[in-house]
C-alpha cells in the first residue's frame, strides 16, 4: 500500500493532509531520515513526528468504560471514541465496539476494526460468558438464582426464553451475574423481571479476559494471548 494511503487510513489526516506531512518532513524512518510519499517501507519502519505508527488494521482494544459514556459513534454526550486518541475515530477500517454497554453501565468493553472477529465474539452460538456486577435497589428475594438458572425466564417482548444464567449473591443488594448471551438491556430487564431494579452495573469480564489493573477511562491494545482468553470456554463460533 502506498504510504500516503497507509498513514491516512490510520487517521493521521486526509490523504491531502498526509501528503503535506511528507512535504513538511514529518514522516521519517527510525533513524530520522525523511521519507517521501513514493518510498516503500514496512509499517514498523515509519515514524510520524518521531513516533512509531499506530497499529494497522486488525486493531483490538480493551476499554474500561466509565458511566455516562455511550457506545454510539454519534451522540450528543460523551462517546467511547472520546476516551481514545482523536485519530482512532478516523481510521479505515472503522473501529467499532464489540456489542454495547448501556450509557449507565461501566466496565469491560472491547473495540475492534476486524469485522470477522467482532462477529465471532457476539455471535449467539459463541456463548462467551460475560460477568456483570450489579447493585440493586431492593433486597434480593432469594429465588433469583433459581429463576435465572431455569432457562425458562421469558423477558417482555422476547420470543425465546433466556439461556440459563448464573447468579452469585454478594450481599443483600449486591450480586454477580454470568450471562452466555447478550440481549438488549438484559441484566436490567432480568432484575426487573424478579421485581428489582439495577442501581449500578459494571461488566467485569468477557470470556476469560478481565480488566486487570486498567483504571476507569483507560484503554489498552489487546495481543493474541488476550484474544485467546476472550474465547476461553467459548463454544465454536
Ligand atoms: N445488560 C444491561 O442491562 N446493560 C448493559 O449495558 C449490559 C448488559
Residue with CA closest to ligand 1 atom 7:
101
Query: Which of 186, 189, 204 to probe ligand 1 with, by most ligand atoms within 8 A of CB?
Result: 186
Cβ of 97 below 6 Å from ligand 1:
no
Point out the catalytic residue in the list 45, 102, 104, 226: 102
pLDDT in tens, 43-91: 999 999 999 999 999 999 999 999 999 998 777 899 999 999 999 999 9
- The angle formed by the CA atoms of residues 135, 140 and 146, to the nearest 5 degrees, is 115
C-alpha cell at 158: 422476547
Q: What pLDDT is attached to residue 94? A: 96
Q: What pLDDT is attached to residue 237? A: 46
Does the domain formed by 3-52 have CATH 3.40.50.450? no
pLDDT in tens, 119-158: 999 998 999 999 999 999 999 999 999 999 999 999 999 9
Q: What pLDDT is attached to residue 140? A: 98
Listed in order, the ranges of the chain carrying CATH 3.30.70.1560 are 129-206
Which residues make Cβ contacts (< 8 Å) with residue 43, sequence separation at least 6? 6, 53, 56
Residue 106 has pLDDT above 80, yes or no: yes
Report the separation in Å between the CA atom of 82 and the middle of ligand 1, taken as the mean of its atom positions: 21
Listed in order, the ranges of the chain carrying CATH 3.30.70.580 are 60-124+208-230
Listed in order, the ranges of the chain carrying CATH 3.10.290.10 are 3-52
The burial of 49, by beta-carbon neighbours within 10 Å (0-12 exposed, 13-18 middle, 19 or more buried), is given as exposed
Do 174 and 135 form a contact (C-beta atoms < 8 A)? yes
* Gap between the Cα atoms of 123 and 121, Å rounded: 6
The CATH architecture that domain 60-124+208-230 belongs to is 2-Layer Sandwich (3.30)
Which residues make Cβ contacts (< 8 Å) with residue 171, sequence separation at least 6? none
Q: What Cα–Cα distance (Å) separates residue 21 from each residue in 45, 49, 85? A: 17, 9, 19
The burial of 19, by beta-carbon neighbours within 10 Å (0-12 exposed, 13-18 middle, 19 or more buried), is given as middle
- SS3 assignment for 180-191: CCCCCCHHHHHH
102 is catalytic: yes
C-alpha cell at 181: 448471551
* Gap between the Cα atoms of 30 and 28, Å rounded: 7
CATH superfamily of 129-206: Alpha-L RNA-binding motif (3.30.70.1560)
Which residues make Cβ contacts (< 8 Å) with residue 200, sequence separation at least 6? 67, 104, 106, 134, 135
Amino acid at each position: 500500500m502506498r504510504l500516503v494511503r497507509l498513514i491516512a487510513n490510520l487517521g493521521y489526516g486526509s490523504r491531502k493532509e498526509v501528503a503535506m506531512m511528507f512535504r513538511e518532513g514529518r514522516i521519517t524512518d527510525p533513524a530520522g531520515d525523511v521519507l517521501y510519499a513514493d518510498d516503500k517501507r514496512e509499517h514498523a519502519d515509519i515514524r510520524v513526528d518521531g513516533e512509531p505508527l499506530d497499529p494497522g488494521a486488525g486493531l483490538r482494544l480493551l476499554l474500561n468504560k466509565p458511566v455516562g459514556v455511550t457506545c454510539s459513534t454519534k451522540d450528543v454526550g460523551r462517546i467511547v471514541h472520546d476516551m481514545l486518541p482523536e485519530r482512532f475515530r478516523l481510521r479505515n477500517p472503522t473501529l467499532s465496539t464489540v456489542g454495547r454497554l448501556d450509557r449507565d453501565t461501566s466496565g469491560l468493553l472491547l473495540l475492534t476494526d476486524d469485522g470477522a472477529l467482532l462477529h465471532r465474539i457476539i455471535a449467539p452460538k459463541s456463548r462467551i460468558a460475560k460477568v456483570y456486577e450489579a447493585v440493586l435497589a431492593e433486597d434480593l428475594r432469594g429465588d433469583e438464582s433459581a429463576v435465572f438458572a431455569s432457562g425458562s425466564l421469558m423477558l417482555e417482548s422476547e420470543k425465546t426464553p433466556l439461556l440459563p444464567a448464573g447468579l452469585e449473591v454478594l450481599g443483600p443488594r449486591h450480586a454477580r451475574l454470568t450471562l452466555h448471551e447478550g440481549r438488549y438491556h438484559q441484566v436490567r430487564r432480568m432484575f426487573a423481571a424478579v421485581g428489582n431494579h439495577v442501581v449500578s452495573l459494571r461488566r467485569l469480564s468477557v470470556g476469560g479476559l478481565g480488566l486487570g489493573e486498567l483504571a476507569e477511562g483507560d484503554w489498552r491494545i489487546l495481543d493474541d494471548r488476550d484474544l485467546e482468553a476472550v474465547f476461553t470456554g467459548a463454544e465454536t463460533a
